[in-house]
């Protein structure tokens, strides 16, 4: 009887040792590293058809922003730039976490077809190693266009530089009901190289953003960010800035007067 028990114990021991060996030496599933969070997550899907103007929404890591924004552009399949703009952070951007963004971009694509919506990490340093972009393939819808004017100073047409004397250049833009804003956006881009060769120049700082534009009873109320008055001094430059903005808006029959504000302020802005 004792012999039978001993044999049973030995058999159980062998089984237990065998199971332990199987557990120890059985190949374990490979542990996969956590999936990295994308730098940019747009709401627009790859391959989606887009039309101008385009509302661009999504989220991006806070490290992509500088002063709460970063640039975007639309290109065709060959990389030709069809439109540029920026997106603005909708919450605190000073984080490495994802931050919601929103922006609008207009573009001109005469024939439509394949293209890209390009998100570019803002790089105030200008160092190539800090450049980064995310390209989203899209289908461009052909764009209807119209002509607007932007008004600049010109040292050839006005050699004496009369400060408040400005001259028109024509720009082709996507057809829209928001013609005043589109005309101002063309003004804020500044003269093209060809226009500069013809003597056109601007007194408006680069990087100025329109915060709002409304037209009521013949008066256009346009509000800009603080970049409009950054390091601006001298009565001539102030007069030129006001003239460029005012005349650009007064090309439209619905605008008789223009009131400029900066962050909602009208009284203490653009001082000589």
Mean pLDDT by 10 residues, the chain (272 residues): 69 74 66 79 97 94 94 96 93 95 93 96 91 96 94 94 92 89 94 96 92 95 93 88 97 96 90 71
Q: Are residues 92 and 185 in the same domain?
A: no
pLDDT value at position 176? 84
Q: Are 180 and 255 in contact (CB under 8 A)?
A: yes
Point out the domain boundary residue: 120, 140, 160. Answer: 140
Q: Are residues 82 and 127 in the same domain?
A: yes
Q: Are 42 and 58 in contact (CB under 8 A)?
A: yes
Point out the domain boundary residue: 108, 140, 172. Answer: 140
The number of beta carbons lying within 10 Å of the beta carbon of residue 104 is 18
- Is residue 78 a part of any domain in this protein? yes
Q: Are residues 102 and 164 in the same domain?
A: no
pLDDT value at position 24? 64
Domain region containing 180? 145-262
CATH of the domain at 131: 2.60.40
Q: What pTM value is reported for the model?
A: 0.68
Number of domains the chain is built from: 2
- Is residue 62 a part of any domain in this protein? yes
- Is residue 29 a part of any domain in this protein? no
pLDDT value at position 30? 66
pLDDT value at position 74? 97
């Amino acid at each position: 009887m004792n012999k039978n028990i001993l044999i049973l114990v030995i058999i159980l021991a062998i089984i237990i040792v065998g199971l332990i060996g199987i557990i120890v030496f059985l190949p374990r599933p490979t542990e996969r590293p956590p999936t990295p969070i994308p730098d940019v997550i747009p709401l627009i899907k790859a391959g989606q058809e887009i039309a101008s103007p385009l509302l661009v929404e999504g989220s991006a890591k806070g490290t992509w922003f500088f002063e709460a924004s970063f640039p975007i552009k639309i290109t065709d399949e060959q990389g030709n730039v069809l439109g540029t703009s920026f997106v603005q952070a909708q919450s605190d951007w000073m984080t490495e976490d994802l931050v919601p963004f929103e922006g609008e971009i207009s573009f001109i694509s005469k024939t439509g077809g394949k293209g890209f919506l390009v998100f570019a990490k803002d790089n105030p340093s200008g160092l190539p190693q800090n450049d980064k972009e995310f390209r989203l393939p899209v289908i461009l819808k052909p764009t209807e266009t119209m002509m607007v004017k932007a008004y600049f100073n010109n040292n050839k047409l006005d050699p004496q530089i009369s400060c408040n004397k400005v001259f028109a250049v024509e720009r082709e833009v996507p057809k829209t009901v928001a013609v005043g804003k589109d005309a101002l956006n063309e003004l804020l881009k500044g003269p093209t190289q060809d226009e500069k060769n013809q003597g056109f120049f601007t007194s408006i700082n680069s990087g100025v953003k329109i915060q709002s534009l409304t037209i009521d009873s013949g008066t256009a109320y346009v509000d800009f960010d603080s970049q409009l008055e950054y390091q601006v001094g001298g009565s001539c430059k102030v007069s030129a800035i006001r003239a460029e903005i005012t005349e650009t808006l007064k090309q439209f029959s619905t605008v008789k007067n223009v009131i400029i504000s900066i962050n909602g302020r009208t009284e203490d802005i653009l001082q000589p």
